[in-house]
Amino acid sequence: MNPLIYTLKLIWPEIENYLDKIHIINAQLHTEFMTTPNEKIVDDILKAKSNGKTKFLFYLISEGVVLLPLEKIQCIADLLKDTINPTDLIYTTSASDGIEVYENLCIKNNWKNRISVMCANCNWWSINMHSVKLLTIEYTIKEKEKIFLCFNKMPRQHRLDLLEMMLENNNVAKGFYSFEGPTYWAKIPDGYPNIKNNSNILPLRLNITPDRTNPIDVIQDDIKYFDESYFSIVTETAFYDNQSHGINSMFITEKVLKCFACMHPFILLGRPHSLAELRKVGYKTFEPFIDESYDTIEDDNERLTCIFNEIHRLMSKSTEEWITWQSQIEEIVKYNNNYFHSSIDYSSTKNVDKYFV
C-alpha cells in the first residue's frame, strides 16, 4: 500500500470511504514539490480531475504549518479557482491548531480562495514508532548514572541558548547531552561565549551514527539513556516567535512521545501551552513534581529563564531525593506509557466526512 495512504487511513479511518475521489500530492519538504512549477502541478490536478478525482489532498502531515509550501498551495488554488472549488484542495498538517493558523493567514494576506485544512495531533508520531513495542523497557527506581537526558540535532536558537546556559553553570557533563553544532555552521554564531570557549567538545553525540543520521525512532540502544537518567530536557522544533518556518503553530513531535514510550518525565522547551495541549490529547504532565508554570508564559525569554531555573532546581537534588521523586512520578509515567501504546486517536480534525462528500 502507498505509505501516504496508509498513514492517512490510520489518522482518519473514514477517509477510506473516499479514496476513489482523492488525488494525493506529496508536498513534504524532502520532495520536489517546492521546485515543481505551479503550472505543472495544476496540469496534474486537472488531469486527475478528468479521470474522476474530485478532492485534491496536499500531504504535509509531518510538519506544522509551513509558510512557503502553504503559499505555493494558495497560488495553485488561485490558478484553479475557475475550474475547481478551492475547498476541494485539502492541506494536511501536524499543527493541531492548523485551521486557526490558516484562517489568520488568510486574513493577514487577504487570501480569498480559501482551501480546506485537516490537522493531526501529536499522537500520530507513534505510528512511526511502532517498533518500540518490541523493546525491553522497564521503570526502575534507582540511583542513575546521569541527572538528565537532552537530545539535540539541528542547532536551533533555543537549543543554542540552552547549551550556553548549561555550559555557564557547568551542567552539561551532568547529563547525557547531544549537540551537533559544527555539522551545521561554518563558525560559532556570535553571542555564545561559553559555546565558543568549549568548542573543542563539539559535536556531542549520543545516538547519531553514519547509518542513523536522523534518529526519530527508538531502538534498544537508546533505552540506556532514559534508564540511566532521571528526566529529559526536550527541545522541541519551535520555541521562539515565528521560529519554525516563520509561523507560530502548535506543533508537537516525536521528541515528546519518546519520553512517553520510555517512561521518562520531562521538561519541555516548546511553544507556550504545549503541556496544556498534551493534556488535552490525553496525557498527564508532572506538576507538582516539576514546576510547569513555564508553560503559561507567553514571553519567550521569560519562559526560557523559568525553564532553566527549574532545571537548575532539579539538578540540586540529592540521590535520596531522586529516589523519592522517582516513586512519586511512577504512576504518571506508567499511565503515559500505557496511553501512548493504547491510543488510536491521531486527529485534531474530527468528522472529516464533510471534507469529501
The count of other CB atoms within 10 Å of the CB of residue 128 is 14
pLDDT over 80 (residue 245): no
189 band by pLDDT with thresholds 50, 70 and 90 = confident
Closest CA to 282 of 324, 340, 227: 340
pLDDT-derived band at 241, boundaries 50, 70, 90: confident
- The pLDDT value recorded for residue 77 is 97
Distance CA 323, CA 329 (A): 10
pLDDT at 246 over 60: no
Model confidence, pTM: 0.92
Calpha distance 23→45 (Å, rounded): 8
Domains of the chain by start residue, with CATH? 3-120 (3.30.750), 127-342 (3.40.50)
CB count within 10 Å of CB 19 equals: 14
DSSP H or E segment with residue 26: strand 22-26
Percent of the chain with pLDDT over 90: 84
